[in-house]
Structure 1
């Protein structure tokens, strides 16, 4: 009688959404709503155009439109206003000379990649070159300064000081029972999910809830209507994806794996939510679903011999290679992998962009190779140096394969150069990979250790430096903050690739920030449930 193979199974939690989206009805847009939407859209456009002569008076309007999630309708108008502000920077600084105004001006220009010096904050220092303590009384200014500090670059010491200063005082506001509940909630939101690190759709849902009606009822009404209309589109897409996943019958055919298609589509919405990226979301969700199945195969099921054979088959990328696989789960996974990429190839052919498939396949091959290298470390009981681990982590983080995948459905404005750029592993991709790898490790290393898993960055650091877990985590968070500065730097114009490409990297990084804020919410999806419901279940009231 053959001995049963010893597998490090994780016994993952079942899908918490089950048939919720599979059985949901196909939603249709009402003609009356579409007409109202168009009318309101033109009214908001007129508000933006009215400020072209004095763009510095439009800072709050620009910020509101961006945070409410409707800026994609007004890209040209917002770009012209920001360029006008940048051209007349001295006037803008004079007209917006309070803490909120300068902080907002700084953040808006920095996020768009326009040059602005952090010296604009020097006026808020005292004789000791420290931020004036009296600034703590300006709560709106504190919130804006905190958001500005989150787009800082390396060496911007005044913004390092600003981050410490605002974090200290916002924590005090959050914890002070005498603070107004509204201000305490805003302080909590800024500390945990600052604009630069938050998923745009989640920030829009939040900002709609706190946006004062008296600011601009037209803008708010349009934002609510636009959110609900987009939500219908996303619900229909999720319905289609959920049905595809159900037909694959993953819980039965690959029972070792996490069953998380709803959470994966949530990730796709994080990467891009705009209507024009519907094909991109479909492709991206399927690729990350494959990545998740592969991750669990290498991490939580396969023996090293089985994984060697599976990796060889993926390198061959040939259906005949299935004959060399020695377990049923490997064969099922390999079949699904080739089927999905055949479908992507058909989509690319329809776009006249068949060359893109080659890049997608190459990145998946690199992904499998990286997973195998990590599995070998575990099988050999080898602890890599932190530098070795992070180098491999560029691919085990899934960032490169998912950035390439996000470009597949983006249309004509993405050239072959963008794909070559990702394959060259530029600084922003390394930074995003490091953030994703480290936040995952910090939140999941204890669970992973219990079931048997390769050492994470936490253990690598502890063993190399004789550090405690707390010391290791503190150091890794410092590396995460440094990587965020790298990302901010890569947005400064002129950029190597179009801003639309960089936004995919930034949004993927934001997704990791949210998903791993408190725990590994992908593995333990109850922590994401409210966010998923906010985007795909609960509509906004329009009255």
Structure 2
């Protein structure tokens, strides 16, 4: 990768700062269209540059929203955009704002809305931020999707077809920001001065992110190669670059470089431990391995193969590294919570190994409960909580991290990953050993013979889980949110990343995401 010289880097930096300064001056002008600005900023994954300005603009908008004449039957787009931006930022707003768009009976959306394409697209986007029990938003999703999918060719002009199809397949709330940004840059023509500046900034930002990814991956690969695990485990996955894409996607702020590098370490170790349990270890070895992890004693690893000892040491060293950083920065020692999360993960892997070794097909609910833990998500997010360093002293947060409640935010994200993974569409899963499947358990429990029917059930369950996740990630109630906004956003990003990694039908998205991260400062900015 060619490098800019010092002078070129300085020119790049100056232009970068000039664009930011110009945009901030425009924001402060009277009559500025703040909602449209926020919408485009988020579409271009630039929110980290304007987080405080966005918070101020949304606070002001929320204060006046119900006092103005925004909520009228002829203003569907603005109401939908306001609802989406306010709810995703944690401001209290209910589904009742959509009642004026229902028919006279109040039980369905008014069919007269069918020709308002911009409004219908906004309604579809807003419906994906629904909570459990919000029937109006359920109807909004069904109504908007039906009309958009039916009439994308016909009522709407040809140039609108692709945006409609893209939105139906990639609702903003459930799609990785970098993918949304890539599509926006490719499809949208700037309409005014600030959109031109934002697109210029987004291209420069993409180059910065690409350089960060390159530099961070070098450090991750150096750490990974130093473990020398793949020398003995030739069939195990060896993809540190791809694993770091998780961290880049979950923690998008460019300033969080060391956080991402540190997070990739437990992510990588989950994959290698999974392969050890699936491919390499005998049952006796796996039981010894699990006991050693739960006791956190290196002496308990005697009698284990060398690769298990090396893996155990890597887990201990990585965990201790995180413990030391948290204690140094915040004066809190998370040892017990982090060690417990590893023990729970190993217990879950061992349970699966015993099931498959004995030819036992668990009940669907039993399998899923264990599979959420074996997904690695609760363990990784527990580590992420302390890596971020927000609210590390919160007893309520510690309780949620430790209680194994399947309705907490960690387990909901884990359920989404487990369900997608178990659809059998993992792109790079090497099918060695015995891989269990929730789909298989469900089909047996309920005597379902059609994989299509089972898949429909799984996707419905994913949708229901998203509603619960939205409630815990977006709710403005402090009692339901012991976690910081940055942690909750990271949890949402994990859920958004899941289809990109595990849905074979979205292979192009994975390639597109890789292209986003591999952009460099060689572009003609």
Residue of structure 2 in register with 1:81 after alignment: 57
In 1, the alpha carbon distance for the partners of 2:391 and 2:10 equals 31
Equivalent-residue separation in structure 2 for 1:535 and 1:424 (angstroms): 36
Distance 1:161 1:198 in 2: 21
Q: CA deviation at 1:459?
A: 1.1
Q: Which shows bigger deviation, 458-467 or 359-368?
A: 359-368
Q: Which residue of the partner structure matches residue 501 of structure 2?
A: 515
Aligned residues of 2:206 and 2:519 also touching (Cα < 8 A): no
Partner residue, 2:381: 403
Distance, in Å, in 2 between the alignment partners of 1:195 and 1:540 is 29
How far apart are 1:299 and its partner, in Å? 1.8
Q: CA deviation at 1:44?
A: 1.8
Deviation of residue 28 (structure 1)?
Answer: 7.7
Equivalent residues in 2 for 1:467-478, closer than 5 Å: 467-468=448-449, 469-478=451-460
Higher mean C-alpha displacement, 156-165 vs 331-340: 331-340
Partner of 2:421: 440
Aligned partners of 2:76, 2:445: CA distance in 1, in Å? 44
The CA deviation at 1:181 is 6.3
Taking the aligned partners of 1:478 and 1:28, their CA distance within structure 2 comes to: 53
Of residues 479-488 and 344-353 in structure 1, the stretch that sits farther from structure 2 once superposed is: 344-353
Residue 500 of structure 1: how far off its partner (Å): 1.7
State which of 265, 270, 274 in structure 1 corresponds to 2:244: 265
Relative distance call for 1:540 and 1:87 in structure 2 (3 A) is farther
The one of 208, 211, 215 equivalent to 1:236 is 215
Which residue in 2 is equivalent to 1:339? 317
| Pairing partner for 2:439 from 438, 444, 458 | 458
Q: CA deviation at 1:389?
A: 1.5
Cα shift at 1:141: 1.8
Stretches (4+) displaced over 6 A: 25-29, 445-450
Alignment of 1:492 with 2:470, yes or no, is no
Q: Quick one: which of 237, 257, 269 aligns to 1:290?
A: 269
How many corresponding residue pairs?
511
**1:218 maps to 2:201:** no
Q: Is the 8 A contact 1:104 1:144 kept in 2?
A: yes
Q: What pairs up with 1:42-53 in 2 under 5 angstroms?
A: 42-50=21-29
Unaligned 5+ residue runs, structure 2?
A: none
TM-score scaled to structure 1, two decimals?
0.86
The equivalent residue for 2:279 is: 300
User: Could you tell me how far apart the structure 1 residues matched to 2:164 and 2:399 are?
Assistant: 41
In structure 2, what is the equivalent of residue 122 of structure 1? 99
Q: Answer yes or no: is the 8 Å Cα contact 1:224–1:542 preserved in 2.
A: no
> 1:291 Cα shift?
0.5
1:428 to 401, 409, 413: 409
RMSD of aligned residue pairs (Cα, Å): 2.9
Distance in 2 (CA, whole Å) between partners of 1:225 and 1:537 is 10
Measured in 2, the distance between the counterparts of 1:484 and 1:370 equals 23
Residue aligning to 1:4 = none
* Equivalent position to 1:363, from 341, 352, 363: 341
Residues 284/159 of structure 1: CA separation in 2 closer, same or farther (3 Å cut): same
The structure-2 alpha-carbon separation of the partners of 1:407 and 1:26, relative to structure 1 and needing over 3 Å to count, comes to farther
For each residue in 1:320-345, what CA deviation from the matched residue of structure 2 results, as whole angstroms up to 9, or x when unmatched?
Answer: 223131x3332332233233334334
